[in-house]
Structure 1
């Protein structure tokens, strides 16, 4: 799909699909990975301003590991689980930095009752390693590392929801790079209409109405394919429209906008000089 600012093109047949990622976004992540791989090469490096040797990344990482341990109590009730992480790793997030700045090292316990365990685990893996499973791989068929524990086609939306939860968590924690990475993985998951509806429900229930990064592509996807996909998940599609009227309105608006555009193009092409092709009816006059 094109960037959010570009007009959404609605296909007239069910054969067209929507690429919900962007080439610029993919290139940005690949460039970032290439830069990361290049760090640390050579015997000596200098700071960008030329003031002296650059800090050793290994030394910086060791300093992270020397910091106090923080307990993260994730979930609520029977789902409650305690994870641990180094304070210096967590404070790279503005959200956690605000919570931990004035906290005593003897009372480093944070409660996250509304967060999903798997999303927090992905966040921690990313903070320590710069990636999280499944990793982005250039030589993989869909650009993602194979996961033998899940079906090749996401027919429930579970794989889409995993990435969407990481996306919304990254937004909350103030981590734009993790947010971009999660967004790029969403568009590499093969899913069914049922899975897409489950994903759409989460997006419309957990993102602001002005979000154009993942909410607008959801509406565009269904505006393009709803005439085909709604028959594969008609009950789910109807329930989604009733539960989130904004979803139905967004989809309908895109469909109608594109229909109006096609009508204007036909009228402009109808006569030489670009004038409207439909002639105004001449009233009959009885003399």
Structure 2
């Protein structure tokens, strides 16, 4: 026997279609947490070197008067320095000539800063973790401290411009630079003149160098060292403090007894 055919009245068909439509609308109002995650979320924007090159050109006026020199750099690179970024904030879209005046800065040091902003290093660049490129302009021996002073000026300028990574790089190059006693005196004079009294990163190694090299003071740079002490009493005090600390440690080591013993206080003579 054949199955009987089921016929749905037209009015019931219309009601069924409406129910389906309602269900579809309800699905659109589902909980957003149940929605599938995006397969390819948007990637963060990356600043490219081209973005730097497309930024406006800024003039840097180094020095003052007839000896002033003008350098040029892209604004987007200069803004890596908080100090220079603040100066660039003064420019508007209608500024015809974008210029930053640096009347008291060293030209060569400023050039090294710009070189670092473009290529993350400056000449002489690091050839390895413990060596730098050869610089034919540095005499041998370098008694005037040309190489050391170059990196010292970059360090102090990097500190002022708010570039700590550049300051760290310059400090590393200082430690890699070959020097003489007279060269070290020239470097010490610059450090104690240009750095703040609480800058232990630069001052302490200088004082420690001279505190542990008395032979160099007597035979290579005695007069220069004497003038340095008279010009910067803080330098003389720092060196003397380190010498006395070393002598005290040696004295304690030589007079201390074995474990569990106490060093006796020297008895004063009685009248």
TM-score (norm 2): 0.78
Aligned partner of 1:116 in structure 2 is: 106
| Counterpart Cα distance in 1 of 2:269 and 2:193 | 53
94-103 or 225-234, which deviates more: 225-234
**Cα 1:151/1:52, change in 2 over 3 Å:** farther
211-220 or 107-116, which deviates more: 107-116
| Counterpart Cα distance in 2 of 1:272 and 1:125 | 58
Larger Rg: 2
**Cα 1:212/1:272, change in 2 over 3 Å:** closer
Deviation at 1:242, TM superposition (A): 0.5
| Counterpart Cα distance in 1 of 2:154 and 2:98 | 23
223-232 or 107-116, which deviates more: 223-232
Deviation at 1:107, TM superposition (A): 3.3
| Counterpart Cα distance in 2 of 1:181 and 1:230 | 33
SS at match of 2:260: helix
Q: Which has the higher contact order (CA 8 A, sep 6+)?
A: 1
Structure 1 vs Structure 2 CA RMSD: 2.2
Matches for 1:23-42 after TM superposition, within 5 Å: none
**Cα 1:232/1:77, change in 2 over 3 Å:** farther
| Counterpart Cα distance in 2 of 1:130 and 1:156 | 28
| Counterpart Cα distance in 1 of 2:60 and 2:223 | 39
| Counterpart Cα distance in 2 of 1:97 and 1:272 | 60
Deviation at 1:52, TM superposition (A): 4.1
Alignment partner of 1:61 is 2:56: no
SS at match of 1:96: helix
Aligned partner of 1:126 in structure 2 is: 116
CA offsets per residue over residues 230-283 of structure 1, 9 Å max, x none? 4311221111101100000000011011111111122213x6633226764786
Equivalent position to 1:106, from 80, 85, 96: 96
Aligned partner of 1:168 in structure 2 is: 156
- Give runs of ≥4 in structure 1 deviating > 6 Å: 281-284
Alignment partner of 1:240 is 2:240: no
148-157 or 178-187, which deviates more: 148-157
SS at match of 1:82: strand
| Counterpart Cα distance in 2 of 1:53 and 1:254 | 55
| Counterpart Cα distance in 2 of 1:248 and 1:76 | 35
TM-score (norm 1): 0.74
130-139 or 200-209, which deviates more: 130-139
| Counterpart Cα distance in 2 of 1:272 and 1:109 | 69
Cα contact 2:58–2:72 (8 A) shared by 1: yes
**Cα 1:268/1:209, change in 2 over 3 Å:** same
Aligned partner of 2:69 in structure 1 is: 81
| Counterpart Cα distance in 2 of 1:153 and 1:135 | 21
Unaligned runs of 5+ in 2: 1-39
**Cα 1:51/1:96, change in 2 over 3 Å:** farther
Matches for 1:9-28 after TM superposition, within 5 Å: none
| Counterpart Cα distance in 2 of 1:77 and 1:239 | 33
Unaligned runs of 5+ in 1: 1-49
Deviation at 1:149, TM superposition (A): 1.9
